Chains A and B, each alone.
Chain A
């Protein structure tokens, strides 16, 4: 729940649909433009185990524009990868046959992008837009506390360079009634642009910002932005050749319908498929893809699905499946503190997971969560130095510690034998309602199952068990709970 990146194809679809439809926030120097014709966006997805060739065959039916004679295309992966132009993950000005071959060669292949390995599964193929170098601009809108910055430079393109240093900038305040005048926009942002296209660009920037606000973007970057004015400069063809955007996922209840309609088959100019799936809005709901190389593992996906079904919060990210140090921490803040403590003790590379459970999960939910973490930990090979498990957490507000610990205890019982085989040290620290009972129970179970377990209560600093476990440092000389 936060600002989330979206696919380039979706960003383009939203802009294309809403640029002429969002309510204007300021009078434009130009007459209202006609609505854009549907954008030509062939968004190709290659799921695991697919036959890329078959998907490309199907694409030719779904996106008939691909077969237009003599048409030229741009193809690139659409997976939240930055600087694709520089990385050679972009092919320009190719007939369909070549673009298709380019995609086919890369689809479903493991690829290394600046140190991150992932599989290319999503591509975007669009018509190539011939234009002159001087028609390439750069625009970036991003939000800060005081308002939204608009950055603009007339020298856009792959080699835009350090935009922070060279872009003209304008802060638009939160109160839209104070939106800058056309003259101000032209004078600040368009200083270095031939005045002939000022009207066209002012109109575009205001519309773009209108969509940014209306569809609750938190980040939008277009580079290059190509603006080809008509002869009398009363309107222009605007092309967003490359785009990166983030939407505020929490605004789904306000903007979901707007996001969806832009992605509907009708808005994209596609023959509406006779799919029998009913969406709650006029189009498919917005998707927020995982970053490149960070597709969810089955276990992460399982925890995410548990999380989605309850009011409680259950999060799991596996950082290093072969790591020695695992965490089972309650509370959003406490879980970060634990990761910090492990990293600052010098064990960042050994930290296996980041995760947290909070918001009063039931005993069963806690059990499934704990079970998943233990299973992942004990699946890896036995490590000669053993493994470390932190069952940590802060002082809960209302969660009954004893009852959530029941779920943890159930999982511990299930894995007791393997925990001993893997020489797992277990360190417990927790407080909050009924912690006395919870700590007593888990301690008793540790003794019963002969686990290597140490248990601490609120006398111990929230993450104080980490330096004790990893560095044998216990400066306050704090005793175990009940000792």
Chain B
């Protein structure tokens, strides 16, 4: 088959994409205490491919029939769909630029995971709350100003919306729904059996510690029924009591777990609810930060809210009060699993909890990038680069850190030798390269490259267009003398032709010798640029045989005509060959290779770019207008159609070249 694709083995990529219709509505609206169920549909606000994929993977191993993510809202978006995996196949998630549009397209969505930054999360959350279908918003951002957080929670209360966060990882309901990055990577989710529901509902302040809770619960009980991390800020949108009351109302949740923290008074509201009989299920609880009272000065722990403003807010006082109210509170957090395990076993013994057989979770393929990081897989790279590396702490030029480039002051010549030849060249070589750039930088406005740049500039084009139009003239005739000269001189020299034989051979072939001849300069009126190069090379190069050869050729040609001197192109070209061959940094093969690759043209392009940019700036500065060539400077010779002739040959004026 002609269109056989290498990755999918026959099928086109499109065949591997799963498309979902919105799930059927739950037959009855979810109960008041149910935030998440196996048909919960959500938007992700913000571009978070990893979190999104994590949610879809979770859905998949929970055997949900449709993904929990209905779409992505991204106001700065450029794309319209985002490709995600559904198990081993792929699926497309729509990306919306406006909340309005997203809500209109997906009336079944009632949950939003808001990944907006601390700066923009206030505005976006307020906007989201104005849509009546929204029941729950999780706010992930850390560092939301406290006033803004209170405004959000105040408005949410008015609207009857549940806010989870800010500064949280979110929450998880095994078998139903996972908020964003909760639970970590897939192997951890599988290890903590989060793909099927257990009987314990927890609320934790810290998101990081919720991973520990998942792990503990999987070890000492039949696992998590639902878990929420309310976030470490001073004013979380919902607190312990809000979620514990939901768990109390939910008949499937048998044990409540509260993991509180020093700071704030929210634990006391749970104590109140237990005292007045609102909560009757067993609560296993702990407030972390008991050490705070033992320090002599104030220490701000990781969370913004974890600071006791009064005795009441210390972890010690909270643990004591919870124990007094009949919660199961261990003596230390290390004993927490034991206490929890005993409470669980007790309920199993009473028949309140009946452990279920373990289902086998579906397998999720490991992600390519992660497998690569673990060193499990390999694949040939499509590109290789051997000159620079921007991935590390510092940019590297051929292995040399950019800071060393400046510390050792290696100059443009040094940078060119690193990037063009992947090696440090001797100092005189770098200097020579710089010298060439300086000599070739410009040659007046009349040469074809500069002319093109000037005309393009005057046509109102931008710098890059003007520069490129000039550069595009460089080739065999303009600027290309360098390459040609290097080739011809080297060739003759290597063949062992004497200078006179070389000149004669060229004449016989009716060929001009590139690099020989100048419009005005002559032996008696030497080109100073050539003199500079010659002087430098003779003084600094360890060997300059080709230059000597070229000078011998020059003495032959100038004996015929005074202006047939070695011009600057020729001089630079032969000296460059001398450099490659004799500086000791290149093998003879390498030297030939670089010449064949056209490195000399590169030198000219680089140097002349300086001049072309200068011409562009000059014309801009002068505010010159569009250039139109005068008619009288063009000879118009048109064919006469009325006169007969073969098609394509009607009275054409033949001009012999």
Contact = CB atoms under 8 A, between A and B. Distances in A.
B373 to A, nearest CB: 6
B268 interface: no
Given A145-B235, A458-B191, A251 B184 contact: no
A426 to B, nearest CB: 19
A319 B188 contact: no
B181 A342 contact: no
A358 B208 contact: yes
A374 interface: no
Contact of A341 (B214, B295, B332): B332
A433 B184 contact: yes
B106 interface: no
A467 interface: yes
Residue with the greatest number of chain A CB neighbours at <10 A, chosen from B144, B187, B262, B299: B299
A461 B337 contact: yes
A389 B147 CA distance: 40
A359 to B, nearest CB: 10
A340 B304 contact: no
A461 B336 contact: yes
Residue with the greatest number of chain B CB neighbours at <10 A, chosen from A339, A351, A437: A339
A218 B208 contact: no
A384 interface: no
B290 to A, nearest CB: 5
B360 interface: no
Contact of B142 (A1, A459, A466): A1
Given A174-B150, A248-B146, A251-B145, A340 B289 contact: yes
A51 interface: no
B135 to A, nearest CB: 22
A254 B153 CA distance: 19
A309 B315 CA distance: 32
A395 B299 contact: no
Interface residues of A, number: 68
A333 B145 contact: no
A294 interface: yes
Contact of B184 (A116, A395, A403, A461): A395
Given A340-B291, A348-B294, A333 B208 contact: yes
Interface in A152-189: 173-175
Contacts of A459: 219
A461 B216 contact: yes
B536 interface: no
A280 interface: no
A397 B334 CA distance: 21
Interface in B369-414: 370, 373-374, 393
Nearest to A293: B297
B185 interface: yes
Contacts of B635: none
B542 interface: no
B423 interface: no
Contact of B291 (A333, A343, A464): A343
B209 A394 contact: yes
Contacts of A396: 184, 211
A466 B334 contact: yes
Contacts of B302: 313, 315, 331-333, 335-336, 356, 358
Residue with the greatest number of chain B CB neighbours at <10 A, chosen from A254, A313, A340: A340
Given A250-B144, A334-B208, A461-B337, A319 B295 contact: yes
B147 A216 contact: yes
B154 A175 contact: yes
A248 B301 contact: no
Contact of B297 (A116, A143, A334, A356): A116
B624 interface: no
A448 to B, nearest CB: 21
A36 interface: no
A470 B228 CA distance: 33
A437 B296 contact: no
Contact of B208 (A348, A397, A475): A397
A248 B147 contact: yes
B303 interface: yes
A459 B207 CA distance: 20
Nearest to B373: A400
B154 A291 contact: no
B121 to A, nearest CB: 11
A432 interface: yes
A276 to B, nearest CB: 24
A398 B151 CA distance: 32
A339 B337 contact: no
Given A332-B303, A335-B302, A340-B315, A475 B146 contact: no
A3 interface: yes
B543 interface: no
B149 to A, nearest CB: 9
A351 B315 CA distance: 18
A2 B290 contact: no
Residue with the greatest number of chain A CB neighbours at <10 A, chosen from B208, B295, B335: B208
Interface string B159-180: 0000000000100000000000
A216 B300 CA distance: 20
A337 interface: yes
A397 B146 contact: no
Contacts of B333: 337, 340-341, 461-463
Contacts of A341: 332-334
A326 to B, nearest CB: 15
Contacts of B214: 395
B188 A395 contact: yes
A213 interface: yes
A251 B169 contact: no
Contacts of A313: 302
Contacts of B206: 332-333
B393 to A, nearest CB: 7
A463 B294 contact: no
A2 B234 contact: yes
B48 to A, nearest CB: 12
Interface in B178-237: 181, 183-185, 187-188, 191, 205-209, 211-212, 214-216, 219, 232, 234-235
B53 interface: no
B261 interface: yes
A115 B150 contact: no
A318 to B, nearest CB: 11
Contacts of B291: 336, 339-340, 342-344, 348, 351
Residue with the greatest number of chain B CB neighbours at <10 A, chosen from A341, A356, A403: A341
Contacts of A317: 299
A50 to B, nearest CB: 25
Nearest to A213: B147
Contacts of B154: 173-175
Contact of A437 (B183, B187, B209, B374): B374
Given A341-B334, A464-B334, A475-B338, A333 B288 contact: yes
A434 interface: yes
Contacts of A202: none
Given A332-B301, A337-B288, A397-B185, 20 more contacts: A218-B146, A250-B146, A331-B209, A333-B303, A340-B333, A341-B333, A343-B294, A344-B290, A345-B332, A348-B295, A394-B211, A395-B184, A433-B187, A458-B215, A459-B219, A461-B216, A461-B333, A461-B336, A463-B333, A475-B338
Interface of B: 50, 118-119, 142-148, 150-151, 153-154, 169, 181, 183-185, 187-188, 191, 205-209, 211-212, 214-216, 219, 232, 234-235, 261-262, 288-291, 294-307, 315, 331-338, 370, 373-374, 393
Instruction: Give 7 nearest A-B pairs by CB, closest first.
Output: A332-B302, A333-B206, A343-B291, A2-B304, A251-B145, A333-B209, A348-B294
30 contacts: A2-B300, A2-B304, A2-B305, A145-B235, A147-B150, A173-B154, A174-B150, A174-B154, A175-B154, A248-B145, A250-B118, A317-B299, A332-B232, A333-B208, A334-B212, A336-B262, A336-B291, A337-B209, A340-B291, A351-B291, A356-B302, A396-B211, A398-B185, A400-B373, A433-B187, A433-B370, A462-B212, A463-B333, A467-B332, A476-B338
